[in-house]
Amino acid sequence: METTVVLLRLGQYIGAVLLFGVPLFFAFRMPMSDAAAERWPRTTLLVAAVATVLAALANLVVQTAVMAGSLTEALKPESLSYVAFGTGLGVGFLVRAAMALLAAVLLISLKPGRGGWIVLTVVGAVVSASLAWTGHGAATEGAGRWPHLIADVVHALAAGLWLGSLVALFLMLRTRHGHAAGAPVTHAALEGFAGLGTLAVVLLTITGLVNSAYLIGFSRLGSLLTTPYGVLLILKLVLFAGMLALAASNRFVLTPHLGSALEDDHARPLALRRLRRSLALETVLAALLLLIVAIMGTQAPPAAMM
């Protein structure tokens, strides 16, 4: 059942990242005309929304089975309703499923335009924020409960901002914007994302330290490698460092190179190919990082083992 939980968590993480980060990118970092005209992300987001609904509801049933002792008990109305409405964990799953369903409806009904992307960004933000109530932060008690939850919410939003925008950029480079005619728009979008990317990294670093203080405790850093959670955290940080290195290369090397090659018919395709490869690799690292986070959610942090 643990593998099932990991896969369901991973599906929700990917869905939340896409439902928040992609609309945000199109609302605020695409040129006005292109943000209004783009239709291609709708299919991607619709799939993400439906998958998030299904994964959240399935996760609710599985979590109820863990608490009730069996799937048979979990499917009883009294057991399922208790977890769904009587625990913060269950409410988190329900809110996530409801908001993802709303996102799906909006994706079908809204006309292309910046206003629509902004509405979807708000809905996606709620989907991402709800992850905090089904993670380790929700188990913190006492005076640290709300600071830890808030840090978790900000961490989830920052991850969605970075990773969702990364996916949007990668998909851009696979459409008309990834060819000569769309190169100026791609370059403008990459330059526009630089500030958001920096903000995301700063927020992830700060909230990551806050979470570590609650879940590990700085006095136990020396024994980090003695626990499965600690080993996974190290792997997560290695992947994060790799993504940072690629992001820095994109910002300070590959994007300026594309800018200088916009009028060069020979250099421009090469610059676009290099960016496409770099963003593809960064996206793969992001997917692996989310998998590690999904596994970490099933492990007891060092602070809980005392």
Q: What is the pLDDT of residues 253-292, one digit of tens each?
A: 999 998 888 877 788 888 888 999 999 999 999 999 999 9
Q: How confident is the model at residue 39 (pLDDT cuts 50, 70, 90)?
A: low
The structure tokens listed for 279 are 């963003």
pTM: 0.92
Ranking 98-112, 189-203, 207-221 by mean pLDDT, the lowest is 207-221
Q: How confident is the model at residue 36 (pLDDT cuts 50, 70, 90)?
A: very low
| The pLDDT of residue 208 | 94
Q: Mean pLDDT, to the nearest integer, of 181-190?
A: 78
The structure tokens listed for 6 are 């990991």
Neighbours of 283 (CB within 10 A): 18
Whether the per-residue pLDDT at 181 is higher than 60: the answer is no
Whether the per-residue pLDDT at 104 is higher than 90: the answer is yes
Q: How far apart are CA 131 and CA 293, in angstroms?
A: 12
Give the CA-trace dihedral at 169, 171, 174, 176, to 10 degrees. Answer: -80
Beta-carbon contacts of 100 under 8 Å, excluding residues fewer than 6 positions away, are: 15, 19, 49, 50, 52, 53, 56, 127
Q: What is the pLDDT of residues 203-245, one digit of tens each?
A: 999 999 999 888 887 777 777 788 899 999 999 999 999 999 9
Whether the per-residue pLDDT at 179 is higher than 60: the answer is no
Q: How far apart are CA 156 and CA 110, in angstroms?
A: 26
Q: How far apart are CA 275 and CA 126, in angstroms?
A: 31
Entry field: residues in the chain: 306
**Which carries the bigger pLDDT value, residue 136 or residue 125?**
125
Q: Mean pLDDT, to the nearest integer, of 145-152?
A: 92
| The pLDDT of residue 119 | 95
| The pLDDT of residue 61 | 95
Contact 196, 49 (CB under 8 A): no
The region, left, alpha or beta by phi > 0 then psi within -120 to 50, assigned to residue 69 is left
Helix-, strand-, coil-residue percentages of the chain, each rounded to 5: 90, 0, 10
